[in-house]
Structure 1
Amino acid sequence: MKTIPRLNFAHLPTPIEDLPRLTQALGGPRILVKRDDQTGLAFGGNKTRKLEFLVAEAQEQGATMLISAGAIQSNHCRQTVAAAARFGFDCTLVLTGEKPKQASANFLLDQLFGAEIVTVEDRKDRDRILQETFDKAVAAGKRPYLVPYGGSSPTGTMGYTFAMEEFMNQNRKVDWIVFGTSSGGTHAGLVLGQRVFGFKGMVLGISIDEPEAQIKAHVSELATQASEKLSEQIQFTSDDVLVNENYCQAGYGVFGEGEREAIKLFASTEGLLLDPVYTGRAAAGMIDLIRKGFFKKDETILFWHTGGQPALFADKYSQDIIRE
């Protein structure tokens, strides 16, 4: 296996915990949680694993600046600018959505960590403005490194390829791994890690915002590309990627009854906080699938918690979560 540049700053391995009261409330199957909300950097989250490889690559290329993009309350952007601060990079974030009148949650933390922020109201303009921002930095004599949306590049995918190895070394037998999938890097890493490290269970991504066919195509391509960083290419197809698209119709970041129930149920049974966009929606999907009998009662599910709790305190969500 090839040696891949990596900075070791995440708090790893993250623990796996039993959720007996949630299991009881839902009538089985057994539910465990992998606590990647505890990876340590700026309240933690799944992007920290990816940034160990992405920031190492930026350093290797002689970059002095990180540039990335996401939504106004992006967890990825919060962790990216925190990594920039820790390792001495300048950082510019291109954030999509209406700029809040008062900074809160991730948007507040972005500024605290020192990001220069460019806001874009319409998501369709984001990629163009992101490229313009990058080009301006180059023209100004800076050395920017473009951190892809969600950290989801072949390099970023290494974070969850090796997360699967970490999980396997924790020796917890599970039948299913369930998590939220969107930009594809976490999903592709787990699929690649499943193949490389021999996980025999099922890896199910609950789509946050994209159709099943699109995620399958993107994740299989990304896993194939990422495999070359380890050794010879492994060819993945859409059939190797398991996705459920039934819970994303409301659209990205739209908070509904499913997310509200999931957040309150995890909190009230286990004292465990989810976020309103990713883990809230993924957990809502898992809960619904349990109630519909999709999982067998004697099976064990590992819910992979990807973090994001600061978004709970965003004005957009905070009051809606607690209303009856």
Structure 2
Amino acid sequence: MITPVSLGTWPTPVEAAPRLAARLGLAELWFKRDDLTGLGGGGNKIRKLEYTCAQAIAAGATTVITSGAPQSNHARLTAAASARLGLACVLVLAGPPAEERRGNLLLDGLAGAEVIWGGDRPLAEVVAAEAQRRSAWVIPFGGTSSVSVQGYVTCGRELRAQVPDIDGTDVVVALGSGGTMAGLVRELGAARVVGVDVGALPDPRATVAGLLDGEVEPDALRIDGSQVGAAYRTLTDGARAALETTAREAGVFLDPTYTGRAMAGLLAGSFPRGDKVVFLHSGGLPGLFGHPEL
């Protein structure tokens, strides 16, 4: 059993959003503010990194390496966690070198991470080669593993203490690498948790079920695939509308890839009028500044 390191500020708050609830036709809408986890600009990856960094330290590693898109929130927070813990950090990012350092990419550099661009090569191949060369501990894509999902079991327990009648409330979360949804399902049950797929995985249902070690059948998972759009890194019209609506009705800023798509699912009428919903805000605000198309 891995004892997690301390990286975040817990519990994160829960806030009511009555004006946005009325706009969506919901009886109640609550934000679980996991964008306010404290370290490195905040976000859901901190809960996972408390476990994956603990594994690296227990193994005697002095360097961690992970991968992601150029505006990866996970990469930013891995860089910040490494800085706090005194670990060297290598980030393997998809595609050719960016022309400008903005958004998360700027923060990666400020935290001292070394960035390696993958170009046309598969990221897993580059990560494996770099990890072997540096004797580095590899933190998986999105920080998601069967160990790190425990971070969102803990989040589910926080929700039990914070939200009246949580067992009668739907919990909506962006579904990227799958660990956030898996941990919440383990604690709150498959009937309560809805993952809005952002298009990061070829088979999100199988991935989430696999992280749960057979505890839940894939078909029992509630997954909304309506908001993927053309591709994972593409800004969808639904996400753009969700960003504006949430900012103007609740004063809360979302990100264009994850929480924007998740809120777009609510705006599209995914839930019957009168429902009670907790929206897990998984962070990503710095990524807004890496999307000039906004």
TM over 0.5: yes
CA contact (8 A) 1:217 1:237 kept: no
The CA deviation at 1:210 is 5.0
The CA deviation at 1:201 is 5.3
Larger fraction in helix: 1
Q: Does 1:192 align with 2:186?
A: yes
Aligned twin of 2:263: 283
Mapping 1:1-324, distance limit 5 Å: 4-122=2-120, 125-138=122-135, 144-174=136-166, 175-195=169-189, 202-210=192-200, 214-224=203-213, 235-288=215-268, 290=269, 294-314=270-290, 317-318=291-292, 320-321=293-294
Q: Measure, in 2, the Cα distance between the counterparts of 1:77 and 1:150.
A: 8
Equivalent position SS for 2:66: strand
RMSD: 1.7
**Structure having the higher Rg:** 1
Equivalent position SS for 2:67: strand
CA contact (8 A) 1:258 1:281 kept: yes
Q: Measure, in 1, the Cα distance between the counterparts of 2:224 and 2:163.
A: 27
Equivalent position SS for 2:116: strand
Deviations 1:22-42 (A, max 9, x none): 112233342111000000111
Q: Measure, in 2, the Cα distance between the counterparts of 1:76 and 1:118.
A: 15
Percent identity between the two aligned chains: 36
Q: Measure, in 1, the Cα distance between the counterparts of 2:103 and 2:62.
A: 27
Aligned twin of 1:229: none
The CA deviation at 1:188 is 1.2
Aligned twin of 1:141: none
Q: Measure, in 2, the Cα distance between the counterparts of 1:102 and 1:29.
A: 44
Deviations 1:287-314 (A, max 9, x none): 10x2xxx423222011100000001111
TM-score, normalised to structure 2, is 0.94
Unpaired runs of at least 5, structure 2: none
Deviations 1:44-75 (A, max 9, x none): 00000001111111111111111000000000
Equivalent position SS for 1:117: strand
> How many residues end up aligned between the 2 structures?
292
Amino acid across the alignment from 2:112: G
Q: Measure, in 1, the Cα distance between the counterparts of 2:206 and 2:72.
A: 24
Deviations 1:171-215 (A, max 9, x none): 4334211111021111111111224xxxx852000000057x811
The CA deviation at 1:255 is 0.6
Equivalent position SS for 2:280: strand
Unpaired runs of at least 5, structure 1: 139-143, 225-233
Q: Measure, in 2, the Cα distance between the counterparts of 1:102 and 1:210.
A: 24
TM-score, normalised to structure 1, is 0.86
Equivalent position SS for 2:148: helix
Equivalent position SS for 2:271: coil
The CA deviation at 1:256 is 2.0
